[in-house]
Amino acid sequence: MKHKIFVEGIKCYAFHGCLDEEARIGGNYIVDVELITDFSLAALHDTLDDTIDYVQVNEIVVAEMAIRSKLIEQVGQRIVGRLQKELKGILALKVKITKINPPINGDVDSVAISIEV
């Protein structure tokens, strides 16, 4: 059976970007994680060990967002890698990172990347 778990709206203040200003000042980011799994046993037995722990998902995202990168593409790939390595039962996943108010020449609310595996 396939089930989805969503951990959405993880808010982070981080220092990603190619500009020196971004490294000094930082900015706001939102990370959304979608996990495809089978939590049939968890639903049947009401046990956390039989599903993906949302706390661990949040901790991985926050830890990786705290490591500076020039590109959110790299941060997204690190998050995907750690989720796959550290959490059992993931059949597929999607990570979306949204950078709020990016410093680009234009009136843009946000930019985002998404990685699906």
- Catalytic positions: 99
Tell me which residue of 72, 74, 58 sits closest to 10, measured CA to CA: 58
> Could you report how far apart the first and last alpha carbons of the chain are, in Å?
18
**CA-CA distance, 27 to 80, in Å (whole number)?**
21
